Amino acid sequence: MDNKEKQLFAYYYKQFAERSFDEKDVLAFLLFAKKHAQANKVLNELGQFLVQREQMTGYVKSYFDHCQEIIQNLGKGKKEKIENLFSFKEIRNQLNAFFVEQGLDKLSPEVINDIMLCLIALLQDVKLISRTTNKKVGHLSFAASSKELFLMGNMRVLHKGRFIPITFPVLTARNSYEKVTPRDQNDTPYLFDDALIEVMNHEGQLVIAFPTMN
């Protein structure tokens, strides 16, 4: 990094450490950092994902192609669980490794969770495109339960002549931000398909702008 880049890097780190950031700051940081994080799989892939969105490539594209394969095989005797794109631990470890390389301290788990929430908000409404037909086969949306917040993948599978909707978590954060009344005994997440969620900062605390939940 040249001296200006170091100054910018220190600015973003201070925002994170003081919890004075929102989703727009996370976007700006990842776009800035990905040039210097080519060897850091998580930061590099997330930075590319945020830029490319439905034109995704690399690991992210392979991940969603595999999700589509798993969903298409439902009911055919082959069962496979869809894992998150990246786990909280993976994002925490690689983000902190990047900061430590720059001679800075690790961020707390609470700050990492804040960053996860911002990533979930930033990746809403991305279209999922089939690698074989090049047509839309799904999309990403924000979802919330009383305990967790999700970037949710939404696809459909044809079963006995009917299309059945399938949802699966792509990224997950702990919900320590807003009170959400459980929908049922399983705490099934509320899915926000028709409204965008915005994550803002109010006096050092992230707040989520939810539409009215019925």
Q: Are 183 and 146 in contact (CB under 8 A)?
A: no
Copy the structure tokens of residue 59.
């690991």
Compute the CA torsion angle 65, 69, 72, 73 (nearest 10 deg).
Answer: -170
Coil/strand/helix, residue 112: helix
Residue 140 pLDDT = 96
Report the C-alpha gap between 168 and 128 in whole angstroms.
13
Strands (E), 118-160: 127-129, 136-144, 148-159
55/53 Cα distance (integer angstroms): 5
Report d(CA 168, CA 189) in Å as an integer: 11
pTM for the full predicted model: 0.91
- Specify the pLDDT at position 214: 44
Chain centroid offset of residue 134 CA? 23
Residues in the chain: 214
Strand pairing report for 136-144 and 198-202: unpaired
**Which segments within 7-147 are labelled E, that is strand?**
127-129, 136-144
pLDDT value of position 212: 59
The span from the CA of 176 to the CA of 207, in Å, is 10
Phi, psi of 119 (to 5 degrees): -60, -40
The CB density around residue 133, as the number of other CB atoms within 10 Å, is: 8
Q: Which residues contact 81 (CB under 8 A, 6 or more apart)?
A: none
pLDDT at 161: 66
Cα–Cα dist 58/148, whole Å: 28
Digitized pLDDT (tens) for each residue of the chain, 214 residues in all: 788 888 888 999 999 999 999 999 999 999 888 888 778 889 999 999 999 898 888 899 999 999 988 888 876 767 788 999 999 999 999 999 999 988 899 999 999 999 999 999 999 999 998 878 888 889 999 999 999 999 999 988 776 667 788 899 999 999 999 888 998 999 999 999 888 899 999 888 899 987 654 4
Question: Residue 60: CB partners within 8 Å, gap ≥ 6?
Answer: 45, 48, 49, 85
